[in-house]
Structure 1
Amino acid sequence: MGTDVEPSDEGGVITAHHYKPTEIHQAAAAARKQKKRRYGIAARLLFLTLDLIYGNKSTLEKFRILEVVARVPYQAWEQVAFVAVTHTHEDPSFARRVHDRALLARTQQDNELFHLLIVEELLDSRTFNRSAIRGRFLPQLLAFAYYHLSWILYVARPQLSFGLNADFEDHAMHTYLAYVDDHPDLAEQTWVSQFKAEYGDYRTVADVLTSMALDEQHHRDESVALIEAARFGQ
């Protein structure tokens, strides 16, 4: 089914999970059995806003918006971490932990960026027309608001920002998997992409969307683990 996909630190491939193409369906079957998180108020408001603007039905257009928004918490965390290094460099051990957190956030954003590029490419193959309001202005507005909410929560109490992101990523995982289940024809569509070298040599559109769902699961689990950790390891 193509070449093995290794984590980015081992093979240079921008996937967050550690599954090979031959393993993703087994991993996805286990993910489908997981219950959804009990989403907080902020996450529910975000999902409601997306539904009101783009409809309740999952579509590639809606995934595009999700991926535009998905990157911004990691950008906010990275920004705070780099500022923190400026104020903590006199304690090298502590500054190193802060820097490691920034590197993790950068890796997470890069993964989400490739999700966005892949979805954009899929939309292009379907001759999707991006409108000025729904396709450009509103996604940027949502991302702007979500960035500042994530930043404020992270500065005030990091666990709240991690929890919001865990809700978002959990929702994304379940949404991607449900979309693949509802569109069995995707398993017959060959995935043709300029991003295979960076993201992974998946065979079908269903495979790559399943891989993206598992990435979201990995991001969710990272955020859940960070909820219990003190800010920058303290």
Structure 2
Amino acid sequence: MSVPTLPDATRHATDATTDRMPTVEFLPEFPSPRHVARPVPAPVGASVPVSRAGAGPGRTTAARTPRLGRRALRREQDATLLAPRRRYSLVARMLFATMDLLYGRRRTMEKFQVLEIVARIPYQIWENAAYRALTRRHRDIGVANRIRERIEENREQQDNEQWHLLITAELVAQSGRKLGGFRYRFLPWLMAVGYYHTSWLLFVLAPRWSYRLNADFEDHAEHEYAQFVAENPGFEHRAHGSVVAAQYGALDSLADLLRQIGHDERMHKQESERYLREDTLG
């Protein structure tokens, strides 16, 4: 049985239409950071807006903080080194002094790993408090929506600090240095417990006190990462070799990876400073 064919005129029209159809190149359903356009660098020292609902139009890390190019990262590091530190509160100064006493004043990757263990704790406290506030204020749509946005921010801040912890832990493991269980397991756990209760108490007494402590903490971390890179020029030509950092979306050199983490800390500092200016939720 023969297959019917189209009339000549119809077939020619179809062929012509097919020839004019453009070739469509499909991207993966879930694009990697390489498929996202680079953002235009913001002015030096300024915060970069991030879409809290998704990756946004700019290129971001896996934790949804702006991923900067190499030149922008160097500019932001220079801006951090030139900027004065915040006037730290007494509690913040005591925390930093404890870190120096236990792990030395010299900046090391092991010390940054300990720093990142406690870094996400305030965001956990704020998220839990926001959920309780949402239970009380869910009928007030305006306030409830602001609380929802704050919950999303705090969750993303926790995730970002978690990436930092995993990256620093992998870098320490790559070094082959063996860490003592008491100094690098028990003491960090003890510090985390103490920092949790301190942040919680400050938040209960006055949320602004907790926001200020975290702004001090993130400002300290931002400057420490910037100075660590400045003290180690060899990091510029050393590949980090971190699987976690590649998933996070960092550039290849160890210097740029640490600069990116330092810039993340600045973002967190500025968010805490914004909380200080806003009305208390709930």
The CA deviation string for residues 155-213 of structure 1, in whole angstroms up to 9 with x for no partner, is: 22111111100100111111111111111111121121222453214121111001111
The CA deviation string for residues 109-145 of structure 1, in whole angstroms up to 9 with x for no partner, is: 1111101111011001101223221111111111111
Give yes or no for contact 2:61–2:67 (8 Å, CA) kept in 1: no
Q: How does 1:1-234 map to 2 (within 5 A)?
A: 3=34, 9-10=55-56, 11=60, 13-14=62-63, 16-17=65-66, 19-232=68-281
| Distance across 1 between alignment mates of 2:239 and 2:258 | 12
Give yes or no for contact 2:61–2:250 (8 Å, CA) kept in 1: no
Give yes or no for contact 1:5–1:13 (8 Å, CA) kept in 2: no
Give yes or no for contact 1:191–1:203 (8 Å, CA) kept in 2: yes
- Which deviates more from structure 2 when the two are superposed, residues 117-126 or residues 191-200? 191-200
SS in 2 for 1:35: coil
Give yes or no for contact 1:68–1:116 (8 Å, CA) kept in 2: yes
**Cα root mean square deviation, aligned:** 1.9
| Distance across 2 between alignment mates of 1:43 and 1:23 | 30
Give yes or no for contact 2:250–2:260 (8 Å, CA) kept in 1: no
- TM superposition outliers: structure 1 runs of 4+ over 4 Å: 2-8
Over 3 Å counting, the alpha-carbon distance change for 1:129 and 1:213 in structure 2 is same
Hey, which of these two has a bigger chunk of helix by percent? 1
Count of aligned positions: 232
Give yes or no for contact 1:16–1:108 (8 Å, CA) kept in 2: no
Normalised to the residue count of structure 2, the TM-score between the two structures is: 0.77
Q: Percent identity?
A: 38
SS in 2 for 1:69: helix
| Distance across 1 between alignment mates of 2:158 and 2:137 | 24
What residue is the counterpart of 2:16 in the other structure?
A: none
Larger RCO (CA within 8 A; separation ≥ 6): 1
- How far apart are 1:5 and its partner, in Å? 6.3
Tell which structure's C-alpha radius of gyration is larger: 2
- How far apart are 1:20 and its partner, in Å? 3.1
Over 3 Å counting, the alpha-carbon distance change for 1:96 and 1:229 in structure 2 is same
Give yes or no for contact 2:85–2:219 (8 Å, CA) kept in 1: yes
| Distance across 1 between alignment mates of 2:252 and 2:149 | 34
Amino acid at match of 2:214: N
Q: Runs of 5+ in structure 1 lacking a partner?
A: none
| Distance across 1 between alignment mates of 2:92 and 2:125 | 17
Give yes or no for contact 1:174–1:213 (8 Å, CA) kept in 2: yes
SS in 2 for 1:191: coil
Normalised to the residue count of structure 1, the TM-score between the two structures is: 0.92
| Distance across 2 between alignment mates of 1:205 and 1:5 | 20
| Distance across 2 between alignment mates of 1:143 and 1:24 | 30
Over 3 Å counting, the alpha-carbon distance change for 1:112 and 1:5 in structure 2 is farther
| Distance across 2 between alignment mates of 1:185 and 1:15 | 29
| Distance across 1 between alignment mates of 2:205 and 2:140 | 22
